[in-house]
Structures are given as C-alpha cells and as structure tokens.
Amino acid sequence: MFLHFLLVLHAVLTILVFIQAQAQQDDQSGFTSIDCGLPENSNYTEKSTGINYISDADFVDTGVSKSISPAERITHQQQLHFVRSFPNGVRNCYRINVNIGTEYLIRATFYYGNYDSLNKPPQFELHFGVNLWDTVKFPNASRTIMSEIIYIPSKDYIQPCLVNTGKGTPFISAIELRTLNNKTYIGDSKDSDKLVLSLSMRYDLGSITNLEYRYKDDIYDRIWSPYELSSDWRRLNTSLNNDDLFQDRYKPPSIVLSTAVTPANASSPLHFEWDVNNVNDQYYVYIHLYDFEEPAANETRTFNITVNGKLLYAPVIPRYPVAHTIFSTAPLSPAKRYEVSLSMIENSTLPPILNAIEVYKVKDFSQSETQQDDVGTVTNIKNVYGVARNWQGDPCVPAKYMWEGLNCSFNGLNPPRIISLNLSSSGLTGKIQYSISELTMLQYLDLSNNSLNGPLPVFLNKLKSLKVLNVAKNKLTGLVPPELLDRSRTDSLSLSVDDNPGLRITESSRKKNLSISLIASFSALNVVILFISLGFWMFRRKRATSTNSKDRVSMKLKHQAFSYIEIINITDNFKTIIGEGGFGKVYLGVLQNHTQVAVKILSSSSTQGYKEFQSEAQLLLIVHHRNLVSLIGFCDEGEMKALIYEYMANGNLQQCLLVGKTNILKWNERLNIAIDTARGSDYLHNGCKPPIMHRDLKPANILLDENMDAKISDFGLSRAFGSDIDSHISTRPAGTLGYADPEFQRTGNTNKKNDVYSFGIVLFVLITGRQAIVREAGQNIHILEWVSPIIKGGDIQNVVDSKLEGEFSIGSALKVVEIAMSCISPNFTERPDISQILAELKESLSLDMVQRHGERENNIIEWNSSQFQSVTAPFPR
C-alpha cells in the first residue's frame, strides 16, 4: 500500500514538474515585444516563434509607418514586415516603461527591405537615452541588423532614440525587452548598477542544423547562431530535452546543449578566438558546458580554461547531467585578439568539451542625464500645453540635441539643469501652470506672445534664480504680484508684462498697455554684465512709457563662469591654437568631464573689440538652435576675457573646402552643409522675435562638427530688429569683402536680404570650390565675375568644382545654381526669404539622391540662360 502511494506521488510530482516547466517555457509575462510601424491597436502572434507582438503607437509620438517590399515580406518573419521611419527631426525617441532594478535583455532590430524604394540603406545612430548605443550601418540591403544590450534600469522607463546623422532617414523594425534572472549576467558583477553589456557574439558551437534558435527553445529569447566547425574540432551531439538535465541560472536551451565540440586531436587544447577593433574595449565571456556523454567508471574529463594564457577557471569537472556556465567576474585584460583555450589536465582521460559561448562588450553609458525633477517638470509642461516641437529624449543632453527653446547648465559632474525656457509664440493657452515653478534653477523664462489667461501667479516668485520673466502679449488679468514688482525694482529681476490689457501694477492702474522697462547696463570691466540677454533681445522693440522711474531695472544673467586659472587648465596653458579671428586666438580646451571645447580669448589688440565681443555673448545666451554654435561659458578676471564654445572637430568650411584639404567634400556633403546653414539662418530670421541678422555670413563662420553637421558662428556683428520688415541705417562697416551685399555698401540699409546675398555667395563657393575673391593677373576677380559668363553660356558642368571629377547630379547642380542666382539678385526685394531657400535646397538634395541612385539622368540638361540676370551692381572687391 505504501509502495503504491509512493508510485502515485512520484507520478503526480512528475506531472507537476512537467506542467511547471511547460508553463515556464510558454510564459511571456516578462516580454515586451514591439513591432515598430505596425498599425495602431494591432497585435498578433508570430507563427514561427509564438511571440506576441504589439504596435509601437503607444510608445512614440513621431515617425511614419512604412511597409517593406512585397517580395521581402515573403521570406522574413512578420515583425520585420513594417518599419517606423523618421524623416523629420534629428532625434526621435521611444519611451517604454520598465521595472527599476530588474535585469533586462533589450534588443533593437533593423531590416531595410527597400521600404522607401530607394534601394539604398541609410546609416544612422541608435542612442539609449543620452548615450550612444550603436551605429546602424548595413553592409548590404538584405542584412538584418540587431543591437542587443543587457541592462538594469535605474528609472522606470527607457528611451531608445534614432538619430539622423545626414546619411539617410533612420528607421526601426522591432524593439524587444526580456526580463532575466537578476543573478545572471550583470548581477554577477560588483558594479552591476553601472554595468551595461552589449552583445558581441552568441554561438551554438556544435550546431548540426545550421539554424538559429530563440524562444520557445530559449526561455529568455536569446538568439543563438550556428558556428562554422573548425578543422581542429570534432562535433558531438545527442538527443536531449529539458527534462534530461539540471540547468544553472543561465538556462541555455537544451537544443544548444545537445551539441558540443571537442578537439579533433584529444590531447590538443580546444581554442576559440576573436579579434577586436579597439584595444581599449572591455569584454566579458560566458562559457556554457554540458557533458551529455556520461563517463565510464574509469574515465574522467577535467580541464583548465584560460584567456590569452591567463587562468580563467580551474579545474573544470563537468558533472553529468548538470549544465554549468563559467564566466569572467571582471573584464578580460585588454588585447587586440582574444583566445579562449580549454586544455586537458594531466590525469584526465577525456578531452575538454564546449557547447556554447557568449561574448559581451562593456558599453560606456556614463553620460550624465538631465536632473530627473527637471525632466519630469518640462515633460509635464510639454503635455499640458501640447507644445508642438520635436521635444524628444533628454531635454539637455547631448548638448547638440538640446530641446529647442531650452538652455541648460553643465557644471562638472553634476546632472545638467534647465536654466532657460523660451516658449514665446508657441500657441500656449490656459493658465500659467504651477509646474513651471518646479524648474528651480530657471534663470530665464519667456512666455510672451501666447494666449495665456488668468492671473500672473505669485508662485513664480519661488524661482529664486530667475533673472528674466517675459509674459508680454498674452491675456493675463489682475494685479502683478508685489513680490515680483519688488524684485524688479531691486535689480534682481527683469520683468516684461506689456500688452496684457487686463493686467495692472496697482488697483488704480488702468492703462491698456503696461510695461516695466528694461535697461541693459554694461560695464566695460565686467563680462558678466555682457550676458544681458533681454536687453539685447528687446533692442529696437517699441516700449510703452514706464509708469515710474523706480520700475527701471538692470538684468544680469550669468552663464557658467570660469576663473583665469581654470582657463589655463582647460587649455593646458594655451597649448593648442585651433583658430584666429578678429577677437583673437581660439584654443582647444578640455573640461573636467572630458568634453572638448573651443576657448576664444579677447586680445588687447583685437580688431573687432569689446563691443562685438559683447554682442556675441549676449546673442548666444538667448538663441539656441542645432545649427548655431553653442556657448558653454565665459571668463572675466582682470584683463582675461574669454568665451567657451562647443568644439567643432572639423574646423570651418573655409578650411575644409578651400585650404588645401586632401579629403574633397562630396556634392551631397556640400548640399547638407548648405541646408544646415540655411536652417540656422532661417531660425535667426524667422524663428526669433525680433528677427536677427547675422551680417557676416561666410565659409570661415560656418563650423563643422565630427559628423560634418554645419553650425553658424561669430555673431559679433549681428543685430536684432523690431519686426520682420524693419531695416536699419548703419554707418559702421559690417560683413567681409566679397560676401557683403553691395546694396548695404551703397546705402547702409541693412535687413534680412543682406544675409541672403551673403548666403548666395557661400552657395557659389560651395558649387565652384573657389574663393569669393581670387587674385589673378594683378587684380581681384570676384566669384560672380568668373561664374556669370560660364552660366550664361549654358556650361553648367564647368561651373561645378573640377575636384569633384563629375561626381554630382547635373540636375541638382543646376537647381543650386538657380537658388544662388536668386540670392544675389541686384533688386534685394526680389531675393527669396531664407525659408524658401531652405525648402528648395532640400529639393535639390532629394533630386541628387533620385538621379544618382535611381534612373541614370540624361547627359544633356536643357539650360535656359535667360533665367540668369546679370548683376548690375559693382562687384565687391
């Protein structure tokens, strides 16, 4: 009877174990499987894997859904049939909820499938929040790219981001998250809270099927790839299922453990090798072992494992039927080549055995993110007001992708903080939200020219660092809080509240237009007061008369300040000169957080002088755009006056295009530089209120970063105007010979069309590869004098830089020439707005892509020379 009970109990336990194993095998509770581009509210189960996929519509606000070509859909799994493409914006991000402290496998998949019918896979960057995750580059159009990391999140969400680097439109096919056992990969490290592992390889070494295995074979949905058998190896295999073995916490699938390799010569070591590109990269290795051949009583299998001759583990004695994983608890010693060796020890009778191996590279995700309270607050502001801007990813970092309308402080190792918020002309409605007062480091707040209503709230006084508050041109009502008035009268706050008909300073004040005037007080000895951004911003703006002289205030807004000693340390005692201009020399610098910067020193013999130095400092404090160079900080100590900018690795366009460079700028690179420059100019002309004229646009003032993205610099001669149509009579010289508008030189009348003329000359320099003015036969030849007769003769090919050796689209070149000609029209009223120029340059780039990578264009393009108007104004020499 008791024996019968034991038999029944054993049967029940066996069934329970089987059910538990089966449930675990079918459990997707730790899976998040996102099909990018799948129509909203759609979901399905992929037939070959049984994985349940959902649409990405709830995780991203931007991008468009596209389908790969019908021929490609037949041969690929369903999650690759759609992609989400991001033709707009530089950085587009997903936001996916996760569990803090849980170890995740996170995988991004990219399959081109000719979804855009261009037959040209793009290249772009994949970011993880503020850190670079991977560069997505396709060796051929049929390749599927996967990027996989193992990560323990410290926040309750992650943000995978696609970044356009100018080499095609980013896209993504799938994002997959899998929860792991917290004691596996990263959990074994003492630095688990900081460690991020990126998959380099994961091989089923003894594979006899040449197939990939993933879920349901692998409960964590790791993808195991077959490995080509080495001539020095012998393959072993058996039939096996999960009931036949005892697994460790890594749980490699039984189908992978059912095959193995061993040395062809039993007495020889078993070697597995791989090369690396960067000797400074760090790697972890995981070696999976399972001896499915039960040794006889007189047999032993014992071996040592070394990596590049250094012992990793010894002795290894596989215990049948137990699967075992040997792993490195610290990064492997740096090397260009790694060799994992399994060597039989002296008293062993059986050779070593190896089933599978995983190799991970350590990723540097150490970039500081914006302080999380600021992130939450500004995200809430975005959602409440429905801010129609491409606010994606981290607000401040990387600095080149900082949200439009924000400025942030970067102070050493501390998290960046938001110090400036400009939501002017953003269509805001409703009341001023309390959450704004939670941006505790805010120094500059511009909510002007919206439709905000209700009172000007007293909670804004909580912003103790606030130096500028502009709520002009809204529908605010009631009294201006006395606390804000007191601060404005004691020089601690610049307050602008005009054009709010229902807003009053006192109960007796009934004026329709209310203004607290702003006086920008400059000290010739103090560069801190140079950063009087609102005074410059309001230059030439019409003001209502102040109700009281006590309402006049000075506004002093500081950027990050550096001491003279810090400037010496940053520049390594002014070791490396990277440029020189009217202000003085520019030096290469390195901040404490290893960020490279450019340090511009104001020389006592400067030809441009302190006033232009002021102008540049003021303007860069308040205008922020990805195609304008960013100001990081300043120094004012005695005679040391310095401005610190972001570093631009490829110098300026003058150097890259005209000064003996061995790498010739390609035609599409020139177009992208022109587009970036037009985009920055468009922001100055049409995105700033009042508009700003640069007044010295030329190749030397167009800087290029490591990705050849262009940014406009040198704003010492810039001016702001009261309206889009306003102009100004100036007796001061502005601009550079060859680029300055003859109309300005003749009349002194400066407006936006002067910049358009200069931009046209820049376009001709890009097209021809010639200087604006060339000295020939004892006289100065302006580029328009050289190019005009060639264009009128219809010889478009000889207009384009001969160094390109014909590698350009004729149709595209023709369109750019037409754009340039419209820019330099003698009648400045006929010159197009820079926004129109930007749109046409984008069309030219698209035309180049289509004609060069689609059907071959005709060798002869019909040219109508009557389209060209001779320049009747004298050529600037």
Number of CB atoms found within 10 A of residue 542's CB = 10
The alpha carbon of residue 405 and the mean position of all alpha carbons in its chain are separated, in whole angstroms, by 17
Task: Please tell me whether residue 298 adopts helix, strand or coil conformation.
Answer: coil
| Beta bridge mates, 354 | 261
Number of CB atoms found within 10 A of residue 550's CB = 12
CA distances from 50 to 192, 217, 243, 668 (A): 32, 11, 21, 45
Residue type at position 12: V
Strand 144-151 and strand 197-204: the pairing is: antiparallel
Instruction: State how far the Cα of 603 lies from the Cα of 178, in Å rounded to an integer.
Output: 58
Beta strands in 245-309 (DSSP E): 259-263, 270-275, 283-289, 303-307
Task: Please tell me whether residue 299 adopts helix, strand or coil conformation.
Answer: coil
Cis geometry, peptide bond prior to residue 321 (ω within 30 degrees of 0): yes
Which residues contact residue 667 at a Cβ distance below 8 angstroms, ignoring those fewer than 6 apart?
Answer: 800, 804, 807, 808, 809, 812, 813, 848
Q: Is 682 tagged catalytic?
A: no
**CB contact burial 364-399 (16+ within 10 A = b; e otherwise):** ebebbbbbeebbebbeebbeebebeebbbbbbbbbb
Instruction: State how far the Cα of 648 lies from the Cα of 408, in Å rounded to an integer.
Output: 19
CA distances from 517 to 47, 680, 843 (A): 70, 30, 45
Beta strands in 276-379 (DSSP E): 283-289, 303-307, 310-316, 324-327, 337-344, 356-362
Closest CA to 343 of 307, 385, 369: 307
Closest CA to 26 of 5, 58, 51: 51
Burial of 607 (0-12, 13-18, 19+ CB in 10 A): exposed
Q: Give me the residue label for tokens 């009970």.
A: 5
Q: Which one is catalytic: 116, 204, 291, 696?
A: 696
List alpha helices for 182-313, DSSP H: 254-257
Burial of 860 (0-12, 13-18, 19+ CB in 10 A): exposed
**Known binder of ligand: residue 558?**
no
Burial of 216 (0-12, 13-18, 19+ CB in 10 A): middle
Closest CA to 685 of 750, 776, 733: 750
Number of CB atoms found within 10 A of residue 446's CB = 25
Which residues contact residue 11 at a Cβ distance below 8 angstroms, ignoring those fewer than 6 apart?
Answer: none
Q: Are 458 and 481 in contact (CB under 8 A)?
A: yes
Q: Are 656 and 664 in contact (CB under 8 A)?
A: no
Residue type at position 781: I
CA distances from 697 to 680, 681, 764 (A): 11, 9, 13
Instruction: State how far the Cα of 301 lies from the Cα of 289, in Å rounded to an integer.
Output: 12
Instruction: State how far the Cα of 475 lies from the Cα of 458, in Å rounded to an integer.
Output: 17
DSSP label at residue 685: I
Q: Are 632 and 568 in contact (CB under 8 A)?
A: no
Q: Give me the residue label for tokens 């109309």.
A: 743
The number of helix segments (H) and strand segments (E) in the chain equals: 15, 49
Torsion of CA 183, 187, 190, 194, to 10 degrees: -160
Residue type at position 830: E
Return the active site residues. Answer: 696
Instruction: Point out the annotated binding site for ATP.
Output: 600
Instruction: Point out the annotated binding site.
Output: 600
